[in-house]
Every structure is written in structure tokens, then in C-alpha cells.
Amino acid sequence: MSSTPAVPQIPVVTLNDGTRIPQLGFGVWQVPDAEAVPAVRAAIEAGYRSIDTAAIYENEAGTGQAIAESGVARDELFVTTKLWNSGTVDWSGPQGRDRVRRAFDESLSRLGLEQLDLYLIHWPRPMHGNTFLNIWPVFEELRAEGRVRAIGVSNFRVPDLELLLKESAVKPVLNQVELHPYFPQEELRAFHAEHGIATEAWSPLGQGKDLLAEPALLAVAAKHGRTAAQVVLRWHLQSGVVAIPKSVTPARIRENLDVAGFELDAEDLAAIAGIATGRRIGPDPAGFDWN
């Protein structure tokens, strides 16, 4: 019996392998390890059941500590982390295979878990000859061994996905990408839908400030008696996108989860579509090559 409050009614997305992921999760990008403990604890207490981290965030240990201390049964939580681009760019051959498995083991150890729910390749790095094609078979092994329930990618473009689908036996369940009303990624989302790949949004609130001060969003928020952030998250849910907002403020953490009970109508959706700029806030995967 969990000691935490009843979980709010968060929609669930069924991935192409049958795995189910909450459509609204909690991200911990740019949250220091020590701060991840109270933040993730507050998120789980508020009702989040999906937690997203990554090796490069350097907060897997704090995230794992909060999960362990939450009192929530492991099978009620969905935990995602990601393989970083560290070290040499050569992921081929036995050494590359061992490096991927070692990175996975280290993430699992830091999280204090025996099984991961979702493991993602963090960046495609196409400038290095599509080395993700050497990484993906190891992900398939980890999945076959039951060490991870589902495997996917992050920041992949359409050409990257086309190549991966052509060369691989197991389809990625999900692609986690920058996505918000300024940068709605229509072409990529259409490709995902065509191939049964779920879309997950990082920085779903556009990293705050400018987006959440948009007059069009504020007008929609006032119409529904909600905040601009709640309107944006509702937009993601109605678009079929999985979203992982981040906050370290307990009140904001609870607010971001409170997106049931209202529906954006056609007029609202048109107003939100009108603020799209097509410009990224984060790096372009075509040229991102940070080790």
C-alpha cells in the first residue's frame, strides 16, 4: 500500500511494443543531483509516475534516491535515462558494445534499479557516420535480456529515423525531441505517426519566460481560468505528445500536473498555432557534437 496521495488521472500512451507510458512525466534536466532528491520526491508525491533523467544530467543518483524513498511500488513508476556521447566516437566492434553495456550498467547502478523502463540514445551525431547504427543492436540485446522494457531515441531527425528503421529489427518506441508551441515539429510528428513512433517533448514549456508571456497564450489561459503553462501542457496532451516538464518548485510541480478538467477548442488551438516561429531554443541535432 502506497503512502502517497492518489495519482491524478494522467492519460497513458501505449508504445509500439505494448509498453505503457504516462503522457505527462517529470523531467530533471539542469537539476543538480542534491536538488533532484527533493524535486523528484515532490513530483512523486504530487502524482507523477514517469521520471526522465540522463547520464549527462549528473543527477541519476539523486533521482534514484528519491524513487527509493518515495514509498511507491517500483512497478507503478516509469523511469527513463539516456546514453551519452562520451569518449571516442567509435562505437563499433566488441569495445563499442562493451562501452554501451558499461554505460547502461553505470546508469542503472546510480539509479539503484534492477530494470529500466526506457533507455534512449541521447543524440544521433550524424557527422560521425551514423554510429547510432552500432549502438542500437546493443539496446536490442538489453531489451531481449529484460534489463530494459523499451528502447528509443532522442533528438533524431527524419533522415536518422529512416536509416534506423531500414537497418534495424526493433523499431524505436519513442523519439524525445525539442517541441513546444514556438517549435511544433509538424513534419517530424507526422513521420512518427506514420511509423508508430511516439513523440515526447523535452522543454515542453519552451524553457519558460518568453513563451509563457505570449499574449495569445495568456488570453487562452484567462478564458479557461488556467495558467499559460497549463494551457501549453494541455496543448501537448491534446496533440498526442508525451511531455516532461521540469520544475524544482513544489507549487509549480503540482500546477503542471493539474491539466485535466478543461479542453482547448478549435479557436484556442488556432491561437496557439499562430505563435509558432519554427525556431529552436536548444541545439540542432544536425550539428550537435558535444562529448
Domains and CATH numbers, the chain: 12-206+241-247 (3.20.20.100)
Which secondary structure element, helix H or strand E, spans residue 177, and what is its range?
A: strand 174-178
C-beta of residue 214 within 8 angstroms of C-beta of residue 228:
yes
Can you give the pLDDT at residue 208?
A: 74
Q: Is 57 a catalytic residue?
A: yes
Average pLDDT over residues 123-152: 95
Q: Is 145 exposed, middle or buried (0-12, 13-18, 19+ CB in 10 A)?
A: exposed
pLDDT at 1 over 90: no
Q: What is the pTM of this model?
A: 0.95
In the chain, pLDDT over 90 holds for what percent of residues? 89
- List the catalytic residue out of 48, 57, 119, 182: 57
All residues at 6 or more sequence positions from 235 whose CB lies less than 8 Å from its CB, including other chains: 181, 264, 269, 272
Characterize the bridge pairing of strands 50-52 and 26-27.
Answer: parallel
Average pLDDT, the chain: 94
Can you give the pLDDT at residue 7?
A: 60
Split at pLDDT 50, 70, 90, the class of 2 is very low
